[in-house]
Amino acid sequence: MLFANASNPKSDNANLQSPNNEKSPNTSANFLIVPIQCLVLFTRILKDFDLFSKDDKVSLLKSSAVEIVVYSLNTLLDPKIHTFTNYLSRDQRALIDD
């Protein structure tokens, strides 16, 4: 949970998973994990990013993550049939589910 306590630092941490008890992410959301991780890693190497306040950093990361989600969903849209297609073929999905 990247932004779990960003808006409310006093929120309850009971819903966070520990590293030893971490749930595996939903396979249909896997296409978002790597780009968002790359975004966070990129911001860590920017030397001037540390000059922003904590709230500004969180706001910038959240808005960038939303843009990544929108862009990723647009790549899944099939405009001919007006539906979102799965990024995995049925054969690939069968391998993951087994």
DSSP code, position 90: H
Instruction: Give the model's pLDDT for residue 60.
Output: 94
Q: Smallest Cα–Cα separation from 2: which of 30, 32, 40, 28? A: 40
Instruction: Give the model's pLDDT for residue 66.
Output: 92
Instruction: Give the model's pLDDT for residue 14.
Output: 44
Instruction: Give the model's pLDDT for residue 53.
Output: 95
Instruction: Give the model's pLDDT for residue 28.
Output: 59
Instruction: Give the model's pLDDT for residue 82.
Output: 79
What distance in Å separates the CA atoms of residue 47 and residue 56, rounded to the nearest whole number?
Answer: 15
Q: Per residue of the chain (98 residues), give pLDDT as tens.
A: 444 444 444 444 444 444 556 666 566 566 778 888 889 999 999 989 999 999 999 999 999 999 988 887 777 777 788 777 766 666 666 766 66
